[in-house]
Amino acid sequence: MSNQPKVLVFAFDLLAHYTRCLRIAELLEKHFEFIFQESDYDKVVQRQGFKTFPCLRLAEKELVANGCREDVMNWPRTDMEKVMLAQRAAIEHYKPSFVLGDMSPTLSMAAEMSGVKYVSVVNSYLSRYCDVPFEMPDCLPNITEDIIDVPPFYRSKLVDREGFIAVTRSQKEFRFLRRQYGLTKKLNLALELEGDQTWICDSPLFHPIKSELPETVEAIGPLRFFPQGLCAEDIPVRLDKKSIMVTMGSSGNYDFLHKLADPALADYEFLVCGSPSDLELSDNVRDIKFADFNTLIPRVDLVICHGGNGSLYQALAAGKPSLCFPSFFEQRFNSERIAALGWGDVLAHDVIAQDLHAAIETWAGKDLTPIAENIANWESRQQSILENLTGRLLKTDTETWNIQQVA
């Protein structure tokens, strides 16, 4: 049994959120014992050497499934209350030094009820600190304080009264619970996603971050996953064809794969990672069951993905462009940034093979060294950044940690 102080991790129920929390745990495992909330990704967590604990969660996968129709996080108040109380019970049982949350909207309330420090991991565009200009539509002349700090992915809703009502509805349940339990008043969901410390896990080159941040908010750079104990295939990449890696993530839609059989795409080799096993693939498409993206992506010419944060940062870290097939709001936001920055393009799921061929010809092999170097710079400093932040959070001298390690 570890004598290290514990950290409980509550991550949104998608693989990318778990893998970036795993990266934090690996960078700080000399100082803390990280324990992760149970999920469909327990095997990934355990393979990285960490334990799990049971706790009720919100219907997060259902939110993603409905993401194309509803871009605002609306959960029933009774569900939120049950999850908040379950989180509080877990915190009081394990008595962690702090809790780490990644898109866990009720965790701020549970941590406050338990009197424990809360660190929130969040993307720039889901925070109040994304440096993206916004002008309030004329239909909403009476701007209120609770809307001023709405994150970019909510702002698209504020184009008419209906959108304003949708945003307001998503925030009122949190306000009700805070009043009911005598907790600190918070005006909007962006504040629920902030903690005693808020770690923004983006490169400002990808998602701009305001230059002046509060003392409690820090940019830590993108968190890239490095899988352990993975019996990955030895994947040869053909040199006589352009090779394209395809991944649609744990939330992606692989229905477009049948298009890869079109004769217009016969001269490319597609390496498909994570596709459903019942799909019939053409001769130019290889089904890759297990792959370490850190070793595979540098060897391909292009990445096709869903626009997920994790997949895009893996591609950018290798200096590779991406073609994105987004399905819901976060993926669309990421994909639009990729296109705007000249790092790839956004395609519709009903794209015809000839247009996909043209996009591949445009982007395959394009060199994105500057962003790759920027990510490498963040990664070289990341452990020190996180040690200093947790030392500040717990008022611990990080030099003392280093002395204890040497001893």
Burial of 111 (C-beta count, 10 Å sphere; 0-12/13-18/19+): buried
pLDDT tens, position by position, 288-297: 777 788 888 9
Q: Are residues 162 and 280 in the same domain?
A: no
pLDDT tens, position by position, 181-209: 999 998 777 889 999 999 999 999 999 99
In a domain, 233, yes or no: no
What integer pLDDT is reported at residue 62 of this predicted model?
75
In a domain, 234, yes or no: no
What integer pLDDT is reported at residue 329 of this predicted model?
75
What is the β-pairing status of strands 51-53 and 98-102? unpaired
Q: Report helix, strand or coil for 270.
A: strand
Report how far residue 276's alpha carbon sits from residue 288's, in angstroms, rounded to the nearest whole number.
Answer: 11
Which residue carries 């355990």 as its tokens? 46
Q: Are residues 191 and 102 in the same domain?
A: yes
Q: Are residues 65 and 164 in the same domain?
A: yes
pLDDT tens, position by position, 71-80: 456 678 899 9
Domain that holds residue 349: 242-367
Q: Are residues 205 and 149 in the same domain?
A: yes
Q: Are residues 288 and 355 in the same domain?
A: yes
Q: Are residues 151 and 295 in the same domain?
A: no
In a domain, 331, yes or no: yes
DSSP structural state of residue 254: -
What integer pLDDT is reported at residue 8 of this predicted model?
99
pLDDT tens, position by position, 324-367: 998 877 888 899 999 999 999 999 888 999 999 999 999 999 99
Q: Are residues 263 and 197 in the same domain?
A: no
In a domain, 260, yes or no: yes
Query: What domain count does the chain have?
Result: 2
Q: Are residues 74 and 169 in the same domain?
A: yes
What integer pLDDT is reported at residue 404 of this predicted model?
47
Contact 9, 21 (CB under 8 A): yes
Q: Which helix (H) or strand (E) holds 243?
A: strand 242-247
How far does Cα 54 stand from its chain's mean position? 22
Report how far residue 393's alpha carbon sits from residue 78's, in angstroms, rounded to the nearest whole number.
Answer: 32
- What value does the mean pLDDT of the chain take? 86
Q: Are residues 260 and 389 in the same domain?
A: no
How far does Cα 364 stand from its chain's mean position? 25
Q: Are residues 15 and 113 in the same domain?
A: yes
HEC per residue, 39-55: CCCHHHHHHCCCEEECC
In a domain, 164, yes or no: yes
Q: Are residues 17 and 161 in the same domain?
A: yes
In a domain, 65, yes or no: yes
Whole-angstrom CA distances from 382 to 26, 44, 220, 234, 391 are 11, 22, 6, 30, 14
Q: What CATH number does residue 131 fall under?
A: 3.40.50.2000
pLDDT tens, position by position, 218-272: 999 999 999 987 655 567 777 778 999 999 876 567 777 778 888 999 999 998 8
pLDDT tens, position by position, 100-127: 999 999 999 999 999 999 999 999 988 9
Tokens of 190: 């962006």
In a domain, 372, yes or no: no
Q: Report helix, strand or coil for 356.
A: helix
Q: Report helix, strand or coil for 132.
A: coil
Q: Are residues 62 and 200 in the same domain?
A: yes
Close Cβ partners of 389 (under 8 Å, ≥ 6 residues apart): 119, 197, 199, 218, 220
In a domain, 249, yes or no: yes
Burial of 91 (C-beta count, 10 Å sphere; 0-12/13-18/19+): buried
Contact 61, 17 (CB under 8 A): no
DSSP structural state of residue 234: -
Question: What is the average pLDDT across 392-398?
Answer: 77
